[in-house]
Amino acid sequence: MESLLIPLLILALVGAGVLLAARAVGRKTLESRAETASRPGRDPMELARTSAAKLSQEQHRRLYALIAQGQAMGAIKLYLEATGDGLRASRDAVGALASHPQPFRPEVPGQQPSEDDDDDAPQRFAYRYRAIASKGDVTREVSSNMLNDEIYGRIRTMARSGDPEAAAEALTRHSDISIKQAREFIALLED
């Protein structure tokens, strides 16, 4: 019986050690989950918005150029150097910016961003939009990062409803073309 006592005692000590180690790992996992849940910016859209606000216009342009070219590591490196955030935070920020593209919004001191932005005010997007109009042998193209489907749809509706001048003015506001070029483009949209 004495010969079994020592191995049983060792087995009991090993079992107690395993139990204590399991509890410690479980506690650490719970603390890690609580820390992750309390970390600001868990919402990818909010993370993208706050991440874009940390960049200058040139950094913003270069970052989205790298994302568009599929150079994720270059984009992460650029973001890390521009903001000084850590590697993991930079990776998360670039992932959020790629998933939820953000236009560049310069920060104006003392001005709070308004929730009811004017829909006709030009806003720069992280991509270039191409609008093409043709009639017969004549084709015109407008490429701008201030256009999107919604804005171009409104311009097209104005042109077709008999207000070509307003449509041309809206097109010049949302692109880098002259009023003469906009009128030529709008003329091709009219039915």
What confidence tens digit (pLDDT) does each residue in 149-175 have?
A: 888 888 888 888 888 898 889 888 888
Helix (H, G, I), strand (E, B) or coil at 166: helix
Angle at 121 between CA 143 and CA 112, to 5 degrees: 130
Most confident residue range from 1-10, 27-36, 80-89, 148-157? 80-89
Q: How confident is the model at residue 38 (pLDDT cuts 50, 70, 90)?
A: very low
Average pLDDT along the chain: 81
Whole-model pTM: value is: 0.39
Q: What does the pLDDT look like over 134-149, one tens digit per residue?
A: 888 888 888 888 888 8
Q: What does the pLDDT look like over 70-86, one tens digit per residue?
A: 889 999 999 999 998 88
If you write DSSP's letter for every residue of 7-72 in order, what string do you get? HHHHHHHHHHHHHHHHHHHHHHHHHHHHHHHHSTT-SHHHHHHHHHHTS-HHHHHHHHHHHHTT-H
Between 47-61, 120-134, 144-158, the lowest mean confidence (pLDDT) is in 120-134
- Rounded CA-CA distance 135/30 in Å is 65
pLDDT at 161 (0 to 100)? 84
pLDDT at 41 (0 to 100)? 44
Q: What percent of the chain has pLDDT over 90?
A: 17
Does 117 score more than 50 pLDDT? no
If you write DSSP's letter for every residue of 83-102 in order, what string do you get? H---HHHHHHHHHHHHHS--
To 10 degrees, what angle do helices 44-53 and 87-99 make? Answer: 110
pLDDT at 109 (0 to 100)? 56
